[in-house]
Structure 1
Amino acid sequence: MNGENSCTKGVDVIRIKSLRSKEMKRLGIFGGTFNPIHYGHLRVAVEIQELFSLDRVIFIPSAQPPHKDFSHIAHALDRLKMTEIAVNPYPLFQTSDIEIQRKGLSYTIDTIQGLRNVYPEIEQFYYLIGWDAFLAIHTWKQYHKLFDEIPFIVMSRPVEGSQKNFTSMIQDTLVHYIQQNISKEYCHDKQQLCIKHPKKKCIYYCQVTSLDISASYIRYLIEKNRSIRFLLPEAVENYINNNKIYR
């Protein structure tokens, strides 16, 4: 990013004014392809917003995700529109086109730095990320720098059995991965449900409701001319049908 001008030009002024209509200090960033957005995305966002007392969650569709096959991804503007339609009924949810306006490959480090310029009044950003995506974060651009910039909230599907089973999974998988790939100084704080570092940002973790819905399955159903009702908001379904997306 080249400073405030290059960042702010890609953000709709109306969205900025809406975000600033109330004082905000804690902002969640939920990035993804949203190809398409569905109830699974919306449900975890609700749960994280409540659990971490976030003032707002911003959904940020990527322009060109660097780790995915572009051939099955709908046009960025269609994915943005579907995301806007999906979050519109929820006042604590918002969308941003910052990655789409930036064009080219979408890198999280650039997005975070851009959002800091757009929203200098925000005291704390949090980055929402799924379990599987986090366990590949060592492949991301400047991934070490990310942990100097922003706390992560790693979302896990519910683990069968007791809380002890979940804690063991965190220790055996998540903590081990972090210590091997990010910094050996990270340590597990079981009371605070986070993984702490003396200098870097905390990495939080939590279990979220697992809705057995995937964007790839929705696309498959569309290709087979089968119903996608109740997998995503009806308004999003109508947009897909009216614009013949994924066909």
Structure 2
Amino acid sequence: MEQVTLEAIPQVQVAPVQTRRRQRIGLYGGTFNPVHTAHLMVADQVGHALRLNRVDFLPDAVPPHVDKKTAIDATDRVAMLRLAIQDNPLFGLELAEIQRGGVSYTYETVKQLKEAHPENDYYFIIGGDMVDYLPKWYRINDLLKIVNFVAVRRPGAKNESQYPVIWVDVPEVQIASSDIRQRVAQGESIRYLVPTRVEQYIKEHDLYHGRN
């Protein structure tokens, strides 16, 4: 009988199974009309407090709770976001809602992201004032199964919820996009309210003048 040595058996190279590491991703949704310093501060504080791998800003296409007349074109809002976040490696930009178009419902967005990236655990960042409205959110019970809510405490809000919410304390910086739009329309300074690059973009593209 012929003896077969191990050296005579062809060696089959088996490629290692590629497993994607689990990632903790923050989602910070909003109209960002325009993005301002408080947005950036909240995202940075929450990202570090919860040790997130990344915090993605999630601009909406057509928010269900904002007067459509006050939101400028998504192209400009996204451009300002890119300028605002470019210096912070913790920040990213998620354009799922812009690309999908139509009214932006958080459930549909997170469901889409989970299907595309099952390795990610998502943390949706909202203000304490928005927590009060969670019972009215579209498919809130289904949403709670696929995302973790992170709430930033806000003065004047209840800052409590019947739903599982992770509370994070951040410095109180009260800046509103509506106030920035009004200041621009009235020719007032918005320096330090928005990043310098965003201020320059608003001037160069003549945004918000004559309206708030």
| Residue of structure 1 in register with 2:12 after alignment | none
Instruction: Give 1:139 deviation, angstroms.
Output: 2.1
Structure 1 residues 120-147: Cα deviation after superposition (integer angstroms, max 9, x where no partner): 322x211101011121122221122111
Structure 1 residues 103-126: Cα deviation after superposition (integer angstroms, max 9, x where no partner): 10000001101111332322x211
SS in 2 for 1:148: coil
Q: Give the ranges of 4+ consecutive aligned residues of structure 1 lying more than 4 Å apart after TM superposition.
A: none
| Residue of structure 1 in register with 2:56 after alignment | 58
The within-5 A match list for 1:178-193 is: 178=162
**How has the CA–CA distance of structure 1 residues 238 and 24 changed in structure 2, closer, same or farther, with 3 Å as cutoff?**
farther
1:98 to 96, 99, 112: 96
The within-5 A match list for 1:75-94 is: 75-94=73-92
| Residue of structure 2 in register with 1:146 after alignment | 143
Instruction: Give 1:81 deviation, angstroms.
Output: 1.1
| Residue of structure 2 in register with 1:203 after alignment | 165
The within-5 A match list for 1:1-80 is: 25-80=23-78
Instruction: Give 1:36 deviation, angstroms.
Output: 0.5
**How has the CA–CA distance of structure 1 residues 41 and 66 changed in structure 2, closer, same or farther, with 3 Å as cutoff?**
same
Match status 1:217 vs 2:169: no
1:229 to 191, 197, 204: 191
CA contact (8 A) 1:36 1:82 kept: yes
Larger Cα-atom Rg:
2
| Residue of structure 2 in register with 1:13 after alignment | none
CA distance in 2, matches of 1:27, 1:68: 25
Amino acid at match of 1:208: V
The within-5 A match list for 1:111-122 is: 111-122=109-120
CA contact (8 A) 2:129 2:154 kept: no
The count of aligned residue pairs is 190
Instruction: Give 1:148 deviation, angstroms.
Output: 1.3
CA distance in 1, matches of 2:184, 2:133: 29
Q: Identify which range, 37-46 or 138-147, moves more after superposition.
A: 138-147
- TM-score, normalised via structure 1 length: 0.72
CA contact (8 A) 1:158 1:209 kept: no
Amino acid at match of 2:49: L
CA distance in 1, matches of 2:183, 2:28: 25
CA distance in 1, matches of 2:38, 2:184: 18
- Identical-residue share of aligned pairs (%): 35
CA contact (8 A) 1:29 1:127 kept: yes
Match status 1:155 vs 2:117: no
CA distance in 2, matches of 1:95, 1:24: 19
Structure 1 residues 66-107: Cα deviation after superposition (integer angstroms, max 9, x where no partner): 011011111111111111110111111001111011010000
Which has the larger helix fraction? 1
SS in 1 for 2:182: helix
CA distance in 1, matches of 2:22, 2:30: 23
Structure 1 residues 196-245: Cα deviation after superposition (integer angstroms, max 9, x where no partner): xxxxxx42112211112111110000010111111010101111111111
CA distance in 2, matches of 1:67, 1:139: 11
**How has the CA–CA distance of structure 1 residues 70 and 23 changed in structure 2, closer, same or farther, with 3 Å as cutoff?**
same
